[in-house]
């Protein structure tokens, strides 16, 4: 039997969680006390959902928030929020495609899943405890709202 491809099977080689950085303020729904489901949708260029490997980010940047500040702050604004997603919980049928073209060796795209399926998956996933956080400087805090 040949070995399985760890990227395309949905299991990362480096870590067990991926991080999705999102804009805290524009993606937060105060009435529902959660991020909106469009916080986890495919990018407009068709490459998939941008994520990065948690272990890799901590190794290269010291913390998740430092990694977001270094590589993603211009895209997510301040204060950034993020989702910690176990790779085993990513949507059915996904592929993880490494993509360091923007200078982040920890970056990859969750590809192969349509936006409707992503939104449905996200609505269930976001209800869990300890999956969404925001950055207060370089410190991670449990996410309740962008203003604390």
Provide the residue ranges of all domains of the chain, joining segments of one domain with +: 17-142
Looking from the CA of 122 toward its CB, the CA atoms found within 13 Å total 21
Q: How far apart are CA 68 and CA 77, in angstroms?
A: 10
Please give the mean pLDDT across all residues of the chain.
Answer: 80
What pLDDT score was predicted for residue 14? 52
Question: Given a cut of 90, is residue 36 above it in pLDDT?
Answer: no
Q: How far apart are CA 49 and CA 116, in angstroms?
A: 13
Who has greater pLDDT, 60 or 137?
60
Q: Express the helix, strand and coil content of the chain in percent, nearest 5 each.
A: 25, 30, 45
- At 100 the three-state DSSP class reads coil
Asked whether 47 and 109 are in contact (CB, 8 A), the reply is: yes
Least confident of 37-41, 44-48, 74-78, 98-102: 37-41
Asked whether 96 and 8 are in contact (CB, 8 A), the reply is: yes
Mean pLDDT of 56-73: 94
Going by DSSP bridges, is the β-strand pair 28-29/34-35 parallel, antiparallel, or unpaired?
antiparallel
Asked whether 134 and 84 are in contact (CB, 8 A), the reply is: no
pTM as predicted: 0.80
Partners of 136 in the β-ladder: 139
Q: How far apart are CA 37 and CA 48, in angstroms?
A: 15
Asked whether 81 and 29 are in contact (CB, 8 A), the reply is: no
């Amino acid at each position: 039997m040949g070995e399985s491809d760890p990227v395309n099977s949905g299991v990362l080689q480096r870590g067990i969680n991926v991080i999705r950085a999102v804009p805290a303020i524009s993606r937060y729904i105060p009435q529902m006390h959660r991020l909106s489901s469009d916080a986890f949708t495919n990018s407009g260029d068709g490459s998939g959902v941008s994520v990065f490997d948690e272990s890799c980010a901590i190794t290269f940047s010291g913390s998740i928030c430092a990694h977001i500040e270094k590589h993603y702050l211009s895209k997510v604004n301040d204060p950034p929020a993020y989702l910690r997603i176990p790779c085993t919980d990513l949507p059915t049928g996904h592929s993880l495609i490494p993509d360091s073209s923007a200078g982040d060796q920890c970056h990859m795209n969750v590809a192969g899943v349509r936006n409707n399926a992503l939104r449905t998956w996200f609505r269930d996933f976001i209800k869990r405890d300890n999956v969404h956080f925001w950055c207060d400087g370089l410190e991670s805090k449990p996410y309740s709202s962008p203003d604390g």
